[in-house]
A and B are shown apart, each in its own frame.
Chain A
Amino acid sequence: MTTGTLTAAGRTRFRLPRKQIPVLATLALLLVMYGIGVSQYTAFSNVQVIFNVFIDNGFLLVVAVGMTFVILTGGIDLSVGSVVAMTAMVSAALLQDGMPAALVLVIALLIGPTLGLLMGCVIHFFEIQPFIVTLAGMFFARGMCTFISGASIPITDGFWTSMSQERIGDPRGNFVSISVLIAFVVVVIAAYTLAYTRLGRNVYAIGGNPQSALLMGLPVGRTRIAVYTISGLCSAIGGILLSFYTLSGAPLIAVGMELDVIAAVVIGGTVLTGGAGYVFGTVLGVLVLGVIQTLITFDGSLNSWWTKIVIGGLLFAFILLQRLIGIRYK
């Protein structure tokens, strides 16, 4: 008996856990890319390079976390990029009108979840595909941006500039911005919610099989609406972080961001049909995108369009990997 459990334990230790393979592959890829960077460029080994990846992609990380929730239920949210832009735009416009920063923050953080809630309700109650509903949401939010102002609005508010310029750590050496800390808090809360709360388990259950989830008596409708609301909230937080980063609201900012976000989530190992994936994988996915950009910047001879081609190639490789794992174990 004892030996039996021992051998069983011994065997499992050497077998790669199937669910984690995509995440582990992403981790390996990240390490390889970082290794290439370090071996090619001496400045790459500076810790600040990694910190900069986080600083430049903090908002992307937050939005990707929200998208992970949606994709885990088997849905998709195309509105995130536009909601990010709208949040930044609304806060810039309100600050310009002289509204106090705290009030602006509350209003800006309410818009995204409200839109998400509405989209979730339409998806659930009227059974229209998420793709179309969130597409309409994307058009709506982008239209609102230019409705507010056709030109970029600078932010000069004291709270915003201090949030933008605050450096945590040694200001002359290695530092991170407050946005990075906020992004980390969001990641930790999201990871906890998905892994240890009832809502998180419901999300996985619905993604695995909505019919079974319904028959088990899980609140499918409520969870589905909640997921789009969470994505809206994350987009709103992302928008605030972006306005910290750029200190302005521009109507055409974050165009096409939803694709980067979906790419990051997929590269992070979340399966698009829903039901399997981790927030940690999404963090890795965002880091992979960030490191690609850094590598291409360091190289200098490659043009920015190579980023898109490489991201497309990686997407292909990871989806193929997911497929192969699926075929082998099913």
Chain B
Amino acid sequence: MNDTMSRYRTMIGHRLFWPAAVLFVMLAANTIYRPGFLSIELKDGHLYGTPIDILRLSAPLILVALGMTLVISTGGIDLSVGSLCAISGAIACMYISKQPDQNSLGVVVTALAMAMGVSLVLGAWNGVLVAVIGIQPIIATLILMVAGRGLAQLITEGQIITINSEPYRAIGLGHALTLPLAIFIALAAALLVAAFTRRTALGMIIESVGGNAMASRLAGIRSGRVIFLAYVISAACAAVAGFMMTANVSSADGNAAGLWVELDAILAVVIGGTSLAGGRFFLSGTIIGALIIQTLTTTVYAMDISPQTSLLFKAVVVIAVCLIQAPAFRARFSRRRRNVPPPATIADKPKEQVPA
């Protein structure tokens, strides 16, 4: 019995327990509400079903959130990812729409390379502002968040650019091995980031910079370079997410593409257990966080509630998850629970509460 108790404790204590539990509860509630929720069927060699949809739609968010995890881990934040999505999508669509043969693979690859190049430059701009000039990350990236929307509209000249390119469309809606291609792209990005951060020292270095940039620098880590790199990676992830978003609808809208994705991404990271103060980061937690957000959105749509009202539910989930994970809240909660059964400790209580 003691053994099961301790096993239960370690399970509860695991960092992924609460996010996974929330995701599980949401899926269970959905299945009870709509028994066909989890059913998947094979049609024309492709798998269809709500779980597949959730995975496909959460792919851009997972990408953005992966980059965001690294940035937040260095103690920063990247607000510009939404604008970067809009810019990368706008550049790619603009280039493709100007070409005579939109279906040519070469055109699409050139478009992607151009958009990726610009995004990397913008990511480097963020990195320079934060790492070299030393501006607070929230403000440094706010600049590009505000100006970036304007740039995206400048590229599309305020229009919604519609394209008709099969290879580009495949990024968002294509299939491979019966599953949507977007899932594989997100998975590949996740594995790539995980391999570089967990199989090399890079992850540890990023965490140490986030924990204490000055101490890491004194220990011989080039903090500035690591921070710079994090913003560039974040921009690259955002660019790919931007391709996916625009490919989903085969059009680029400078105003609406990637709107609020930065907030969703930050939420995904925080739900996944990475502290906004920097330090340790959890890629698997981030992915679960992104899935939670997308499941919530899909649930709300399925229940026939307007997309805007879904924000209400999002607010409740965010606060609930953050409170559960907050040390201060846990301490308060567990102290009360522990104090109830043995009355002897009550006598000690005033002593404990003397303010330091």
Contact = CB atoms under 8 A, between A and B. Distances in A.
Contact of A140 (B142, B153, B312, B329): B312
- Residues of A in contact with B, size category: 35 or more
Nearest to B327: A127
A207 to B, nearest CB: 14
Interface string A116-159: 00000010011111011101110110111111001000000000
Contacts of A313: 147
A263 B150 CA distance: 15
Chain A CB within 10 Å, residue with most, of B138, B147, B153, B267:
B147
A305 B154 contact: yes
Contacts of B145: 259
A140 B320 CA distance: 13
Given A139-B318, A311-B147, A319-B135, A146 B323 contact: no
Nearest to B313: A143
B306 A146 contact: yes
A323 B318 contact: no
Nearest to A124: B328
Contacts, number: 129
Contacts of A136: 314-315, 318-319, 322
B309 interface: yes
Contacts of A222: none
B105 interface: no
A289 to B, nearest CB: 11
Contacts of B138: 76, 131, 272
A251 interface: yes
Given A140-B312, A143-B314, A259-B142, A323 B158 contact: no
Nearest to B329: A126
Contact of A135 (B136, B263, B316): B263
Given A125-B328, A146-B306, A320-B133, A312 B150 contact: yes
Dominant secondary structure at the A interface: helix
A315 B223 CA distance: 25
Contacts of A140: 311-312, 315-316
B77 interface: yes
B185 interface: no
A274 B119 CA distance: 31
Contacts of A252: 308
Chain B CB within 10 Å, residue with most, of A126, A263, A304, A307:
A126
B308 A251 contact: yes
B151 interface: yes
A41 interface: no
A307 B148 CA distance: 11
A262 B147 CA distance: 14
A128 B322 contact: yes
Interface in A284-330: 303-309, 311-313, 315-316, 319-320, 323
A307 B147 CA distance: 9
B133 A143 contact: no
B164 interface: no
Contact of B143 (A273, A319, A323): A319
Given A139-B314, A308-B147, A127 B308 contact: no
Interface string B124-159: 000001000111101110111111111101100010
A237 interface: no
A127 B277 CA distance: 12
Interface residues of B, number: 47
A266 interface: yes
A290 B262 CA distance: 27
A143 B151 CA distance: 29
A204 to B, nearest CB: 19
Contacts of A251: 308
B146 A272 contact: no
Contacts of B154: 303, 305-306, 309
Given A139-B312, A147-B309, A315 B158 contact: no
Interface in A226-259: 251-252, 259
A143 B263 contact: no
A305 B147 CA distance: 9
A272 B139 contact: yes
B310 interface: yes
Given A135-B267, A303-B158, A309 B311 contact: no
Contact of A312 (B148, B263, B313): B148
A211 to B, nearest CB: 12
A143 B150 contact: no
Given A252-B308, A308-B153, A313-B147, 7 more contacts: A131-B138, A135-B266, A139-B318, A144-B312, A146-B311, A263-B142, A312-B143
5 contacts: A127-B327, A136-B322, A140-B311, A143-B309, A309-B154
Interface of A: 76, 122, 125-129, 131-133, 135-137, 139-140, 142-147, 150, 251-252, 259, 262-263, 266, 272-273, 303-309, 311-313, 315-316, 319-320, 323
Nearest first, the 3 A-B pairs at minimum CB distance are A312-B147, A143-B312, A308-B150
